[in-house]
Amino acid sequence: MSNGVLVVVSGPSGAGKGTVVRRLIEKYEGIFLSVSATTRQPRQGEIEGIHYFFVSHDKFRSMIERDELIEHAEYAGNFYGTPADPVRERTERGEHVLLEIDIQGGVQIKKKLPDTVLIFLAPPSLEELEKRLRGRGTENDEVIRNRLNIAAREYAVAKEYDYIVINDTVDEAVERIHSIIVAESCRASRISL
């Protein structure tokens, strides 16, 4: 019996993390997505408890003080964090857990839980990234420009990740991430015979 693999998927806003991760958990059993807490306002169509736990700044602070988050980070003026209990319970049951979090969060988790697998999902190019962000139509021009600036800084940290997956097509990206999870779950250090 071995614990499930904890997998972080990071990458620039608009790279396709949400799309790829959603397809992955629909297609394969035994892989679950962790739901983060955030102080950001819900976007149209986002549902409490499914996409995020939308919380006030006070509630977020109290979660930090009570050590209820494995990691947390500020991104584009809002706070985001990963609730610890659901992640621990699932991985102890042998289920794989995906965290779709920013790169600062990925680096923090790896320090705390070194078995975590860090995957950087990159768009085929920065031009394609801008096209996808504009095509999604959920952010205004200023927010998009800010996110593109953040993307350039994120590329510098991608080298600290374990794997880089290019999201050229959703299907291929899903298969590559699934292959990584399968290989990592067979790692000798994770298995007690």
Which residues in 117-156 contact ligand 5GP (CB under 6 A)?
Answer: none
Q: Which of ligand 5GP, ligand ADP, none does residue 73 bind (CB under 5 to 8 Å by kind)?
A: ligand 5GP
Q: Which of ligand 5GP, ligand ADP, none does residue 75 bind (CB under 5 to 8 Å by kind)?
A: ligand 5GP
Q: Which stretch, 99-107, 121-129, 167-175, 185-193, contacts ligand 5GP (CB under 6 A)? A: 99-107
Which residue number, 3 or 130, has a Cβ lying nearer to ligand ADP? 130
Q: Phi and psi for 97 in degrees, rounded to 5?
A: -125, 130
Provide the binding-site residues for ligand ADP, judged by CB under 6 A.
Answer: 11, 13-19, 132, 135-136, 167, 169-170
Determine which residue in the list 6, 20, 63, 81 makes contact with ligand 5GP, applying CB under 6 A.
81
What tokens were used for 91?
């991985």
The stretches of the chain forming alpha helices (DSSP H) are 17-27, 57-65, 84-92, 103-112, 126-136, 141-157, 170-185
Which residue number, 82 or 167, has a Cβ lying nearer to ligand 5GP? 82
Determine, following the binding rule CB under 6 A, whether residue 102 of this chain makes contact with ligand 5GP. Answer: yes
Q: Which of ligand ADP, ligand 5GP, none does residue 36 bind (CB under 5 to 8 Å by kind)?
A: ligand 5GP
Number of residues that bind ligand 5GP (CB under 6 A): 14
Burial (Cβ within 10 Å: 0-12, 13-18, ≥19) of residue 51: middle
Q: Which of 10, 130, 163 is CA-nearest to residue 80?
A: 10
Contact (CB, 8 A) for 5 and 163: no
Give the side-chain half-sphere CA count within 13 A for 1: 5
**What span, in angstroms and rounded, lies between the C-alpha atoms of 193 and 190?**
10
Residues in contact with ligand 5GP by CB under 6 A are 13, 36, 40, 71, 73, 75, 80-82, 100-102, 104-105
